[in-house]
Every structure is written in structure tokens, then in C-alpha cells.
Amino acid sequence: MAALTGLEPGAGAAAEPGPRPRAWRAAVFLLAALYFLVPLGASLWYTVYTPTAGVSPSAYGELLTAEGFATSLALSLTLAAATIVLVLLLTLPAMLAVRLSAPRLRPVMEVLCTLPLVVPPITFVAGISISLRTGADVLAPTPFWATLMAVQDRAFPMVLVAAYVVLVLPFVYRALDSGLRTMDVRTLVEAARNLGASWPHVMFRVVIPNLRSALASASFLTLALVLGEFTVARLLGYEPFAVWIVTISGSRGQLSVAVSILSLVLIWLLLLVVSGVLGKERRR
């Protein structure tokens, strides 16, 4: 029989793949965990230990009464919410229009959306500052001067929202593009339109429910960028959450590190909650 088939008795066993490299995977996972958890543990120890008082969580108790904590955090959260809404309103309809009506423009749109990655933040904020100063001089005799001043209001600076939209655009584009690649947009839209659905109905009842994961990823990338962005806000003279942390780090180092750890934990918890909700919806 071996002569007829041309196979040696042990050939089939030799062709089988070997065991999975579980040891390598465990080692890589352990190294990654140490890379992330050791600095976080050292920061946590720095916030709760002092040579004079020993271990004490007093730094976390000072958060609620710290001057500027609530206002800076509220400003960053409102800026993040406005940035998420604006960038999704600009990006998602444009990407759908290109996919449905002008697929040849997809490379052009990809280049335009990823272009902010090659612009240094210092150069970007310098251009914004020069534009604001020049605009104030040019628009001073016109009614648009009040609009220019309104977008720079310190209570809610819309100029920061516009800047954050540009900075987060590459990440939002990649997240939405990955979501759109997993679905046949043209077939879904044409089927809904043939059944008499309007364009708002198609958008909110057909497209968006199939992009929950991509929209959640884009939203949390935007939230993380806005909460951690420092350069643009500092050079433009505003004090959101990241700038406030750096401002108090000189005199209250433990408090600034405690706030950083708290913000990181909150973002992780939000990611876990959203991942759990999306997982339940997929299983349903």
C-alpha cells in the first residue's frame, strides 16, 4: 500500500503542524504587561507615598477641592464632545458620498485626511496664531470681527475645536474606513432606497447601526487626543485639562500625577463599558 500511494508510513505525521508557540505568546504578553504596568505602578506609588507621612491617599482626596480641576476637566470634556460631533458630521457623509458616487476620489480623500500627520503641531499652531492675528486686523472694520472674537471665547473656544478636528482627522478616517470595508455599503443603500427609505432613514437606520464599532473607536480616539493634547491649547493661551495638569505639576507634583492616573483609569473604564455593550449587541 505504501508503494501504491508513494507515501512513507511516517510522512503524514511529519506533515502535521507543530504545537502552537504558547510560550512565546505568554512571554510577549508578559513583556507588554510589564512595559505598561511598571510605569503605572511607579506613578501610583509616587502619589500615595511620602518619606515623611508614609502611605496616604491624600493626593486623591485633594482632587475635588483643587482649584481649576473641575473647570478644566469640564472644558476638555465639552471640547471633546463638540470635536466628536463635528468630525463625524464632516467625515462620515463625505466618505459615504465618495464610496457611492465617486470611488475614484478615494485616494485623494485618503491623502487629504492623513495630511495632518506630516504637519508638526508647532507649525500648525503657529499658522493658527498668525491667522487669528491677521484676521483680527483685517476684520476689525467689519461685522465679522465679533464672530472672530466669539470663536476665541475662553469659556468655550471654538478655535480649539476646529484645531482638534484637523488633528484627529487621520485617526477618525482610518477607523471609519476600516468599518466601511467590512460592509457592502452600495448594496445596503440601494436596497434601502428601493424600498422607499429616505436618505436620513438610510443614514440612521441602515449605515450607522452597522458602524457602531467604528464610530465608537473614532469617538474614543478623539476623546483621548483632546484630553491629552497640550501644545495647541498652551500656545493659544487656553487651559483645558492637560494644560492644567502641567501648570500644577511644578508646585503639586503628587496631585498632577494622581489626576493623570485618574484620567487614564476613566478612559479605560469607558472603553471596557463600550466594548461590553457592543459585544452584547453583536451576540444579539
- pLDDT, one tens digit per residue, over 172-191 is 999 999 888 888 888 888 88
Average per-residue pLDDT in the chain? 82
User: pLDDT-derived band of residue 170, with 50, 70 and 90 as boundaries?
Assistant: very high
Q: What angle do CA 149, 237, 226 make, to 5 degrees?
A: 95
pLDDT at 193 over 80: yes
**Which of 9-13, 91-95, 108-112 is least confident?**
9-13
User: pLDDT-derived band of residue 161, with 50, 70 and 90 as boundaries?
Assistant: very high
Query: Residues 238-270: pLDDT tens digits?
Result: 989 888 888 877 667 777 788 888 878 877 777
Beta-carbon contacts of residue 162 (< 8 Å; ≥ 6 apart): 151
pLDDT at 82: 94
pLDDT at 7: 47
The per-residue DSSP string of 27-68 comes to HHHHHHHHHHHHHHHHHHHHHHEETTTEE-THHHHTTTTSTT
pTM (whole model) above 0.85: no
Which residue type is seen at 95? M
Mean pLDDT along residues 212-224: 86
Q: Which residues pair with 55 in a beta bridge?
A: 49
pLDDT at 284: 58
Cα→Cα distances 48→43, 45, 82, Å: 9, 5, 35
Determine what percent of the chain is predicted with pLDDT higher than 70: 88
CA pair distance 119, 232, nearest whole angstrom: 13
Find the helix or strand (DSSP H, E) in which 243 lies.
helix 241-249
Nearest by Cα to 221 from 276, 272, 173, 262: 173
What are the structural domains of the chain? 69-240 (1.10.3720.10)
Nearest by Cα to 225 from 136, 152, 164, 141: 164
CA pair distance 6, 39, nearest whole angstrom: 60
